[in-house]
Copies of this chain bind each other. A is one copy, B any other.
Amino acid sequence: MKRWILAASVVAALPFAAASPEACSVEADLHPFMGVLESAPGDIAPPVGMTGFSHDSLDAQLARERRAALVIRPDTLRRHLRILTEDAHVAGTPGDRATAEYVRDRLAAYGWDAKIVEIPVLLNWPKSVKLELVEPTGEKLAVRETGAAWDKDAHDAGVFDAFHGYGASGDVTAQVVYANYGDVDDFAKLAAMGISVRGRIALVRYGKNFRGLKVRNAERAGAAGVLIYSDPADDGFAQADEYPRGAGRPADALQRGSVQFLSEGPGDPTTPGWASGQSNGKLARLPMSDVRGIPRIPSLPVSWGEARKILATLEGPQAPKGWQGALPFTYHAGPGAAKVHLAVEQDYAIRPIWNVIATMTGREHPEQKVLLGNHRDAWTYGAVDPNSGTICMLELARSLGTLAKTTGWKPRRSIVLCSWDGEEYGLLGSTEWAEANAADLRANAVAYVNVDAAVSGKDLRAGGSHALRDLVLEVARDVRDPSQNRALWNTMMDRAWSEGRAEWSRQNRLRRNRGEQVKPFEWQLPSLGSGSDYTVFVDHLGVPCLDFAFSGLQGAYHSMYDDFEYVDRVLDPTYALHSAMTELWSRVAMRLADAEIVPLRYTNTAEFAYEEMLAIEERADDAGAGRPDSLRFNATLALARQAAARLRNAAFSLEKRCDAVLAGKELWPAAGPEGINRALMSAERGFVGTGLPGREWFRHELYAPGLNTGYAPVPLPRLGQAVLDRDPRAYARGVAPITDALGRAAGTLEGVQ
């Protein structure tokens, strides 16, 4: 409440305050189901101004954004969703092709230069799937959902049975061992308990790490097959009432999905590191026998309703602390009475997928590209994942198209919409397309803004490259949170405060101990890991990225229940969240495309890198404490920290200079705005090095998914991963490349001042 007054008094003096009067009325601070969120203190004020715009152009920009936002309509969003989710549309299927044509036609109708880009890739579809409990009693286990009587879609035979993208064929009958999340540590713990997985079926639960790594880890431990089930502890009744009462996963819902070893490299596994259609110098495509990064043992997803029939019969020692799920019995590690027959026949082939690429050409810098991406392919109907994002993209296209048509506006730079295909198998459409267009993207991409599942709940989650942090805050300030009747900025800040206050206090105490100044509380932009189409841009090409979602518990995730009714009846009946996402995405795109100076601020990146190094040093210190010298992390990060400080200084002085010029107080330096924009775009490319150890496709020195997480990021990956792996030598070797990368970016920014 106090914040309201302060914010209003600060904001009222600014031209864009009028753009979001609703940002200033606070009604409910209660977060549904989570108890009380603590409000951030009143002296944390929203950002002022708009990075990269001259003061003279602010009003016009905000008016344009508002005008575009007024075009957004719930009924259009809803109609798009009904059409896109009419049939299942797994990558490469006729249903998928139909959505590509629909999207292309809509984008063209909205005035965009839209075309379908066909790419041949390796895909598997299930030919036959069998799962049965052989002992203690013979019983077939379900390999698809039972559906809901009131939902026409959730009965459709067009949905594939349970299967895994890039899963192996195989036929195995074996005892079962329970291996928790199937993490590297979980298999290590089983081994320490004296329980062998060799020749057995590993039963693991979804959650924590990317599913492909569960299969990889089981394979490495010698398992003959893998069943991955959804424990109600993770996305079922222990988290929320089961759908349709709530968003929790029903007992029969299977989580389909890819089992590619994602953290080792995405994209078509037959063209690793090069684009489909090009070659590695010798071959256009690896033969199946040479393919790496996908499993050799069969695996299947299982519902908890079926998995409990296996789990409940396991004997052996009680499962270790933390392995217990939410089923109402004590979990054991196994093996036990259960013997399972798992038989999967996969139909592998090179099949076409269809990206849709649509451009609105820039008026001043048509070659410079602001890319917006969302995938279109789905495991079933994909109402949430990914078409809640697809409909936002379509509505964004209509909104900007209408703006262009009615006002003659053209963005300063080109805006490129990318409707990716084959994301679910392994980010195929984005990876292959970006590899094919790497040179152009390296030279001309300003940023890539991803929206995968746009709405699976009410909480705005943003992640991305730190250079884009200020842009996120400024846009969040100007968009209304539909479930809180105030600016998204307020909700984000309250959540950040509630989640981050203790750590901020701890960090300040450490700063005081070190004799440094304390820092005010700040919203932190989480780094990106992997699991969606930003991966090739952020990790391989060094293009600054953002990823947005209104997220929540996704109990229908990758099941037949992810259909129109789920979104239309439960998640967002008014399409207010979809509307807000469309507006947020549009404003981000319009600012990136129209700013005089591209809104990339590397002070944020440098500070992130600096703070992350301190955090890594703490973790390294903990990891080595009390251990033999060969396991201690004695390498100093001093040089890397100096490089981060140099980058900070370079960025800070450039940002101050640009701000002064845009405020009309100074003149451009010799490089001029064009030179500065080039430098700002290149700086992120400077973070790209020669590739991470063992996975050279990942080249960014600041960002990467964890080698054993898949989804979750391990920032400063050489150092962070070395600590996780307890590898002081890799740690020591990691300092120089990171120092160099920070130095390259700093040099680029110093060069234009």
Which A residues have a C-beta under 8 Å from some C-beta of B?
Answer: 30, 32-36, 41, 189, 192-193, 232, 237-242, 246, 248, 317-318, 320-321, 324, 326-330, 497, 501-502, 504-506, 508-510, 513-514, 521, 618, 621-622, 625-627
Contact = CB atoms under 8 A, between A and B. Distances in A.
A41 B34 CA distance: 42
Given A318-B246, A328-B326, A506 B34 contact: no
Nearest to A251: B328
26 contacts: A30-B193, A33-B317, A33-B318, A34-B320, A35-B189, A35-B192, A35-B320, A35-B321, A237-B330, A238-B324, A240-B330, A241-B318, A242-B330, A246-B318, A326-B328, A327-B328, A328-B328, A501-B625, A501-B626, A505-B621, A505-B622, A505-B625, A508-B625, A509-B621, A510-B510, A513-B514
A33 B320 contact: yes
* Most chain B CB atoms below 10 A, which of A32, A232, A497, A626: A626
Contact of A36 (B192, B327, B621, B625): B192
Nearest to A521: B626
A329 B237 CA distance: 5
Given A621-B509, A626-B497, A232 B328 contact: yes
Contact of A510 (B232, B248, B324, B513): B513
A311 to B, nearest CB: 12
B626 A504 contact: yes
Contacts of A627: 41
A34 B506 CA distance: 31
A193 B31 CA distance: 10
A505 B619 CA distance: 10
Q: Which 7 A/B pairs are nearest by Cβ-Cβ distance?
A: A505-B625, A35-B320, A513-B513, A33-B318, A241-B330, A36-B192, A328-B328
A252 to B, nearest CB: 15
Contacts of A626: 41, 497, 501, 504-505, 521
A156 to B, nearest CB: 28
Nearest to A321: B34
A378 to B, nearest CB: 27
A707 to B, nearest CB: 22
A92 to B, nearest CB: 38
Contacts of A240: 318, 330
Contacts of A328: 232, 237, 326-328
A261 to B, nearest CB: 26
Contacts of A508: 625
A330 B242 CA distance: 8
Contacts of A621: 505, 509
A458 to B, nearest CB: 14
Nearest to A319: B33
* Most chain B CB atoms below 10 A, which of A240, A317, A326: A326
A416 B41 CA distance: 59
Contacts of A189: 35-36
A625 B505 CA distance: 6
Given A189-B35, A326-B328, A328-B327, A622 B506 contact: yes
Contacts of A318: 33, 240-241, 246
Contacts of A506: 618, 622
A417 B193 CA distance: 43
Contacts of A35: 189, 192-193, 320-321
A317 B505 contact: no
Nearest to A617: B509
A661 B590 CA distance: 84
A30 B191 CA distance: 12
Given A35-B321, A36-B192, A327-B328, 11 more contacts: A33-B321, A34-B321, A35-B320, A238-B330, A241-B330, A246-B318, A504-B626, A505-B621, A505-B626, A509-B618, A513-B514
Contact of A192 (B30, B237, B625): B30
A735 to B, nearest CB: 20
A111 B34 CA distance: 63
A625 B502 CA distance: 8
Contacts of A246: 318, 330
A420 to B, nearest CB: 34
Given A32-B317, A318-B240, A513-B514, A625 B504 contact: yes
A501 B521 CA distance: 30
Contacts of A241: 318, 330
